[in-house]
Structures are given as C-alpha cells and as structure tokens.
Structure 1
Amino acid sequence: MRNHAMDFYTDLFGVEQCSIEGREELLEGLPQLSPEEKAALDLEQTLEELTGAVNQMASGRVPGIDGLSGEFLKHFWGIIGADLHGVFSECFRTGSLLASCRRAVLSLLPKKGDLALLKNWSPVALLTVDYKVLSRALSNRLKGILEMVMHQDQTYYIPDRTIMDNIFYMRDGCLSGS
C-alpha cells in the first residue's frame, strides 16, 4: 500500500524536467527590484522578525514531527528565541537549512467520493514549528515588496487587496479595456 501511495503521489505531484526556450523573452518587461530592495530581502533575519512571526502563529494547530506546538514556542520564546535566531543565522551563513526544517510528517485526509480510491485522499504535510517560524518571518519580509512586482490586477495574498477589487474592475469595464 505504501509503495502504491508513493507511486500515485509521485506521478500526481512530480516535476517534469524541461528546458524553457526564450526565457529572456518571457521575462522581458517584468518588474524588477532595485539593488537596494534586493539587498534588503537578503539581510539576515533579525530576532525581532522571528519574534513577530512567533506572535502571529495560530493556536490549536497540529504539531509536526518535532511534537512542538506554536503555544509551546510562544510560552518559551523568551528562553529559546535568541538561540533559535542564532541557529537560523548559521543556516543562512552556510546556505543549508536544519534537518528538522527539511522534514515533515505526511498524512492523508479524506475528500469526497469513494475512499477506497487513493485519488479521494489529500496529502497534508505537518511541518515542524521552527520551519513555520522561519517561513512566516520570510513571508512577512516579502509582503513589503509584493506590491512592487505584482500587477495591480493580482489580488490573491497581496496585503490590502481583495478579490472584490477584481469584481469592481470587471463591473467598471477596466479589464475589458472599455
């Protein structure tokens, strides 16, 4: 069963290797970050950014392979925050994430239909709490530049934009060019 599931999801989510001809032409005209903006994104994570990410963590979430919850991290952040910051700083210096940040517990959740069929189960990855903190901190940093590189019609996951904006554009004829 395990091999069958692995084969099924490898085929479903596998990456096909292909070359992109005309890559430069495809990317031509897209917005670019200034050298200063790129440098700001490349700065080492600060303890304040990590603390902000910890404070944003939702409560009541399932822990990952480490067994630690967001509540645990919030409660003990004053004790372990500086140490975790040091660990992440070392990761950025070496260019290699912790082994815990590269692992997850995979579980299958039922969808609709015949549950005897593997296609009616959705895989979900339960990530470790340290990975969640790092990814949230990086995500928070990216939020500051998204508006600069994303077209105004792109609203999904862009701060201060909603799908309602696109509905208004359509209603007002902005998307049709009229």
Structure 2
Amino acid sequence: MVSRKQFRFRFENSWLKEPSFKEEVVRWWKQIPVMNIIPKHILMAKCMSKWGRQFFHKFGEKVKQQKEILSALINREDDIGVANYFEERDKLNELCYMKMSIENNEQNYCGFKRGTLTQANEGIDKAVFEAVFLADYNVVKPTLNGEEKVISESQNDMLTVDIKFEEFTEALKHMHPDKTSGPDGYSPAFFQQFWDLVGQEVFQCCKSWLSECMFPAELNNTNLVLIPKEENVENLTDVRPIALYNVVYKLITKVLVNRLKRVLPVAISVTNPHLSQEGALQTMC
C-alpha cells in the first residue's frame, strides 16, 4: 500500500462560532435551487470549503492580534486586568486549538511494510475479500406457514405508517455533534445547527426514497478507515477497519430503528440463543 495524503471536504464545527458563517450558509442554501439533496450538499460543500480556506488564512492575523492584547494586559495587577488577561488567554488557546484542528483535516493513509504479507497471506486476504464483498448471496424469504404471528395489526400499522418529520428531528437530536463525518464531509453538528433551514428538504428526499424503495447509489457511499491497534503499524493485523457513513444515511437508519425498537421485545424470544433483545437493540442503534 502506498502512503499518500488525500484532501476531502470536512465540515469544521469551529466554523459555527463565526456569526458571518451562519449568514453565508443561509444565503448559499437559498440560492441553490431545490433539487435532490445529494447534489445540493455537494454544491454547499464547495461553497463552505472556499469560505473555510479564507477563514483559515485569517487565523495568523487573529493569533497575532490576540497575543498583542495579552502583552498589554500581562503587567496589570488590578482585579479587572487579571480577569481580562485570563479571558483573553482562553480566547488565544481556543484559536490555537481551532487552527490545529483544521490543519489536521487531511486524512493520513498508513503504508504497510513491504514483504510483510507472504504469498499465502495474500491469497487468504483475497479469498476473504471475495467471500465477504463479492459473494452472490441467494436471499431466501422465510415461510410463516403454521407459525404464530407475534406482530399485531396495530403494531404492523405503526411500522408501515408514513414517515413523519418529527421522527427525523428526534433521531437527529440523539446524534453526537462531533461524530466523524462520512464521505460527504458533513457532521451531525451542521444539520443540528441548520435543521430549521435544511430539515424539510432532507425529510422530503428521505421520505421519497423510502416510499419508492429506491435509494441513490451515493447515499450508500462509505469511508473505510483503518484504526491502528498498535503504535507501529506494519501489517494488516495491526489495524481495525471501521465504516463511516453519511449523516443522511444514519438519519434514515435511526428512524427505522426507533420504530423497530417498539416491537423487538415482542418479536424476539427470550430463549433465542443466537439473538437477544438487548444485543439486537445495541447492534441496530
């Protein structure tokens, strides 16, 4: 694997602390015609990325100004002066942290030492990959002949009723704002901050996809990230892969999970040795 750095858009939560950024987001969103939410997000990402570069270049000037303010306060011994010094020092620390966070935006891809994978291991890795990702699974629909129904008609109606906007709002509230972004670069913080602006369009697109049972291919895009298990990464066994999905994809998943959680205690037997209620809920959430 060749070591390289690749830049991609990533929404920085620190941008939300700039009042001018919020005004710009509202202006950009309203200027872009209503369309499928995915291309609109791409156009918004370009606008925010350009604004972010300009915002980053101003950091040096802001840090310099903040240091000058601290220098003027450092010899103050009165209570007000000391209080102002600590307040301005905290602002400087926050600026430096924000600058460091943006500088680390690029993804670092680790490289593996040459020769660490034997020919046998390469064959095993290829076989595992093909078995997991390229297998042609034959989905067999289960038959319920003679089986007792555990889902009542009212529960079934609850599961199949039209999706409501409030369900998406509730699902978004329970997302951590600093969750790592997916391929589109958006974090939950963006949607939580601008839900009044973008929520209805996101909801209408998701509702249409669910009702038509057809999802755009881009919705399922996923970043596979290798998390090092050890300090010195040399082999594939030294990393743990995780999948990072887009926020919109996770929103849809959470809405469906929240519905299923109401009936899982009834649908899953406590004597089932392979799937417990608690384990199923944790896996789905």
The residue correspondences of 1:20-169 to structure 2 (distance < 5 A) are 24=143, 29=147, 32-111=150-229, 115-152=233-270, 154-157=276-279
Q: CA deviation at 1:95?
A: 1.3
Deviation at 1:34, TM superposition (A): 2.7
CA distance in 2, matches of 1:152, 1:144: 16
8 Å contact kept, 1:44–1:92? no
CA contact (8 A) 1:108 1:122 kept: yes
Unaligned runs of 5+ in 1: 160-178
**Higher helix fraction: Structure 1 or Structure 2?**
2
The CA deviation string for residues 101-128 of structure 1, in whole angstroms up to 9 with x for no partner, is 2111111112359842213322211110
- Residue 13 (structure 1) aligns with: 132
Residue 92 of structure 1 aligns to which amino acid in structure 2? L
2:168 touches 2:251 (CA, 8 Å); kept in 1? yes
Shift of 1:7: 3.0
Deviations 1:84-105, CA, capped at 9 Å, x for gaps: 1110111123211133321111
* AA of the residue aligned to 2:126: D
Structure 2: gaps (5+ residues): 3-121
Q: Which amino acid aligns with 1:7?
A: K
Alpha-carbon distance in structure 2 between the residues aligned to 1:46 and 1:9: 41
> Separation in 2 of the partners of 1:110 and 1:147?
37
Q: Which shows bigger deviation, 61-70 or 108-117? A: 108-117
Aligned counterparts of 1:16 and 1:141: Cα–Cα separation in 2:
30
RMSD (CA atoms): 3.2
Shift in Å, 1:76 = 0.5
> Percent of aligned pairs with the same residue?
22
Structure 2 counterpart of 1:146, which letter?
Answer: L
Tell me how many residue pairs correspond in the alignment. 155
Which AA in structure 1 matches 2:237?
A: K
Measured against aligned partners, the alpha-carbon deviations of 1:56-86 in whole angstroms (never above 9, x if no partner) come to: 1012211111111111110001111111111
The alpha-carbon distance between structure 1 residues 95 and 123, as it changes in their structure 2 partners (threshold 3 A), is same
Contact 1:53-1:136 at 8 Å conserved across structures: yes
Distance 2:278 2:229 in 1: 24
Letter in 2 for 1:109: I
Moved more, 110-119 or 149-158: 110-119
